[in-house]
Amino acid sequence: MILSATHQQFRHEIREFANSVIKPRAGDHDRSGKFVIENVKEMALRGYLGIPWPKELGGLGLDYLAYAIAVEEISRVCASTGLTLAAHTSLGTYPIFKFGTEAQKLKYIPPLAQGKYLGAFGLTEPNAGSDAASIESTAQKVANGYVLNGTKRFITNAGFAGTVVVAATLDRKLGRKGITCFIVETKSQGFIVAKEEHKLGLRASNTVELAFEDLFVPQDNLLGHEYDGYRIFMETLDGGRISIGAFCLGMAQSALDSLINWAQKREISQQAAKAIADVATEVEAARLLVYDAAIIKDQGRRADKQCAFAKLFASEVAMRSVNVAMSVIGIQSLDSESDLNRVYRDAKLGEIGEGTSEIMRLIIAKEVLKEEV
Ligand SMILES: Cc1cc2nc3c(=O)[nH]c(=O)nc-3n(C[C@H](O)[C@H](O)[C@H](O)COP(=O)(O)OP(=O)(O)OC[C@H]3O[C@@H](n4cnc5c(N)ncnc54)[C@H](O)[C@@H]3O)c2cc1C
Query: Do 193 and 227 meet the contact criterion of CB atoms below 8 Å apart?
Result: no
HSE, side-chain direction, 13 A CA sphere, residue 334? 3
User: Is residue 302 over pLDDT 90?
Assistant: no
Ligand 1 pocket, Cβ-based, cut-off 6 angstroms? 87, 91, 120-124, 129-131, 154-156, 199, 202, 207, 349, 352-354, 356, 358-359, 362
Give the model's pLDDT for residue 239.
85
The CB density around residue 170, as the number of other CB atoms within 10 Å, is 17
Which residue's alpha carbon is at the smallest distance from atom 7 of ligand 1? 155
Give the model's pLDDT for residue 132.
87
- Per residue in 246-280, pLDDT (tens digit) is 999 999 999 999 999 999 999 999 999 999 999 99
User: Which residues of the chain does CATH 1.20.140.10 include?
Assistant: 230-368
How many whole angstroms from 12 Cα to the centroid of ligand 1? 34
Residue 2's pLDDT band (boundaries 50, 70, 90)? confident
Choose which residue among 30, 81, 154 to substitute to test ligand 1 binding: the one with the highest number of ligand atoms within 8 A of its C-beta.
Answer: 154
Give the model's pLDDT for residue 336.
87
User: Which residues of the chain does CATH 2.40.110.10 include?
Assistant: 119-228
| CB-based contacts of 273, cutoff 8 Å, min separation 6 | 263
Give the model's pLDDT for residue 253.
98
- Spatial distance between the Cα atoms of 249 and 244, rounded to a whole number of angstroms: 8
Give the model's pLDDT for residue 346.
98
| Residues labelled catalytic | 354
Of the candidates 79, 74, 22, 24, which has an alpha carbon nearest to the alpha carbon of residue 51?
Answer: 74
CATH for 119-228 is 2.40.110.10
Q: Decide: pTM greater than 0.95.
A: yes
How many whole angstroms from 9 Cα to the centroid of ligand 1? 36
How many whole angstroms from 83 Cα to the centroid of ligand 1? 16
| CB-based contacts of 5, cutoff 8 Å, min separation 6 | none
Whole-number percent of the chain with pLDDT over 70: 100
Of the candidates 306, 308, 260, 307, which has an alpha carbon nearest to the alpha carbon of residue 283?
Answer: 260
Residue 277: strand, helix, or coil: helix
Atom in ligand 1 nearest the alpha carbon of residue 207 = 3
Atom in ligand 1 nearest the alpha carbon of residue 128 = 26
Of the candidates 121, 118, 104, 106, which has an alpha carbon nearest to the alpha carbon of residue 48?
Answer: 118
Residue 264 phi, psi dihedral angles, 5° rounding: -70, -10
Mean pLDDT of the chain: 97
The distance in angstroms from the start CA to the end CA of the chain is 28
Mean pLDDT of 313-318: 98
| CB-based contacts of 362, cutoff 8 Å, min separation 6 | none
The domain 5-111 is placed in CATH, from the list 3.40.50.10740, 3.40.710.10, 3.10.20.600, 1.10.540.10, at: 1.10.540.10
- Per residue in 94-139, pLDDT (tens digit) is 999 999 999 999 999 999 999 999 999 999 999 999 998 899 999 9
Residue 139 phi, psi dihedral angles, 5° rounding: -125, 125
- Per residue in 10-53, pLDDT (tens digit) is 999 999 999 999 999 999 999 999 999 999 999 999 999 999 99
- Spatial distance between the Cα atoms of 287 and 81, rounded to a whole number of angstroms: 19
Residue 241's pLDDT band (boundaries 50, 70, 90)? very high
DSSP string, 112-152: HHTTSSEEEEE--BTTBSS-GGG---EEEEETTEEEEEEEE
Lowest mean pLDDT among 283-287, 332-336, 347-351: 332-336
Residue 303's pLDDT band (boundaries 50, 70, 90)? confident
DSSP 8-state code for residue 352: T
Which residue's alpha carbon is at the smallest distance from atom 48 of ligand 1? 356
Residue type at 113 in one-letter notation: A
- Spatial distance between the Cα atoms of 314 and 249, rounded to a whole number of angstroms: 6
* Parallel, antiparallel or unpaired: strands 161-169 and 118-122: parallel
Residue 223: strand, helix, or coil: strand
Give the model's pLDDT for residue 53.
98
Long-range Cβ contact pairs of 132-136 (< 8 A, separation 24 or more)? 132/167, 132/230, 132/233, 133/175, 133/176, 133/179, 133/230, 134/175, 135/167, 135/168, 135/169, 135/179, 136/169, 136/172
User: Is residue 1 over pLDDT 80?
Assistant: no
User: Which residues of the chain does CATH 1.10.540.10 include?
Assistant: 5-111
Query: Do 180 and 215 meet the contact criterion of CB atoms below 8 Å apart?
Result: no
CATH for 230-368 is 1.20.140.10
Give the model's pLDDT for residue 57.
98
Give the model's pLDDT for residue 295.
96
- Per residue in 56-102, pLDDT (tens digit) is 999 999 999 999 999 999 999 999 999 999 999 999 999 999 999 99
Spell out a b/e string for 244-279, using b for 16 or more CB atoms within 10 Å of the CB, else e.
bbbbbbbbbbbbbbbbeebbeeeebeeebeebbeeb
